Amino acid sequence: MNHYLVTGGAGFIGSHVCETLLKAGHSVCAYDSFDPYYPRELKERNLADCRVHPNFMLVEGDIRDRELLATTLRAQPIAAVIHLAARAGVRPSLEQPELYAQVNIDATVGLFELCRAVGVKQVVFASSSSVYGDRDGGPFRESDNTDRPLSPYGSTKKAGEVIAHVYSHLYGFSIACLRFFTVYGPRQRPDLAIRKFVHRALNDETIPVFGDGTSRRDYTHVNDIVNGITGALNWVNGAAGRYGIFNLGSHSPVELNRLLAGIEAGVGHPLKIDRQPHQPGDVFQTFADTSLAEIDLGFRHEVNFDDGLRDFIAWMRANDLS
């Protein structure tokens, strides 16, 4: 049995990671600030099953609180850190770029420094497809240029990858940087498009749609993302001094109009749509080449989008508190 620290452990992806690790027989410490970015009740519900597990503990604290984070890291030997805590979202980052830099860059450096001090050198870092910026053509590869993200959020995730490389090069950390592509599924944050659309559709409310609906996203089910994270844990624990960047996606972009049609079919009535101009910071498409993750992490895209969307709509009917 290994012990893992999951920062952002009460969130959408983090809570699924905690559950998966507990089911695999490990012990888990979730570290989360319960930031009011969205209602605390949603995160409390995310952790309902974890809280009753004897090998689970929760530390409530800000990722910028270095004293509390140091105490948490020293509490017991940690096999690896899964660093998911971040200020998320492209559009909000346009309004609060300094806050995004503090949480996503400064706090990541602080975490790595504390890990170095206590001898924890295995880290899985959550990056984002936002680092690719806006580009045309075929699938995005890890070797592609990522020097021109279109949002403060994307730039902070790019910075996190660069910082991770420094700690791998200088101090022998083994770090896997995972570029998540548009994650959806149960417990999705209420600010994300699919959840907002489904919530409004179920309540017969108007759905604001930016652009003409031809933009495409590589929607990836949270179960597939978690499988990629567990593969990355095996990878970072496999050898010292490793550094890698891996796309986690479906390799199958879905047009926005197709998403809307799927939601309409799922809720059983026509959608009320308000077409609005394209938003600054939004990219036209995301499209993951996942071959590297398949080879090194054993990653496999398993959840078909249509099935995943149908299941998500059913989950929303039963659980929506937005």
| Paired residues of 178 in beta bridges | 126, 246
**Res 322 pLDDT > 70:** no
Residue type, 239: A
**Which pLDDT value is given to residue 278?**
78
- Please state, for a pLDDT cut of 70, what percent of the chain lies above it: 99
Tell the CATH topology of 3-184+220-250+287-302.
Rossmann fold (3.40.50)
pLDDT average, residue stretch 170-179? 98
The residue extents of the domains of the chain are: 3-184+220-250+287-302
Task: Kindly indicate the confidence band of residue 283, based on its pLDDT and cuts at 50, 70 and 90.
Answer: confident
| Catalytic-role residue among 31, 132, 153, 184 | 153
Predicted TM-score of the model (pTM): 0.95
For residue 84, give the nearest of 190, 5, 200 by alpha carbon.
Answer: 5
Contact 127, 104 (CB under 8 A): no
What average pLDDT does the segment 53-76 reach? Answer: 97
Place 320 in a pLDDT band, splitting at 50, 70 and 90: low
Residue by residue, DSSP assigns 12-69 as HHHHHHHHHHHHTT-EEEEEE---TTS-HHHHHHHTHHHHTSTTEEEEE--TT-HHHH
Query: What pLDDT score was predicted for residue 21?
Result: 99
Mean pLDDT of the 161-187 span: 98
- pLDDT score of 213: 86
pLDDT (tens digit per residue) in 259-272: 999 999 999 999 99
**Amino acid 281: pLDDT:** 65
Task: Look at residue 316 and tell me whether its pLDDT is greater than 60.
Answer: yes
Residue 36 has pLDDT above 90, yes or no: no
Q: Does residue 171 carry a catalytic annotation?
A: no
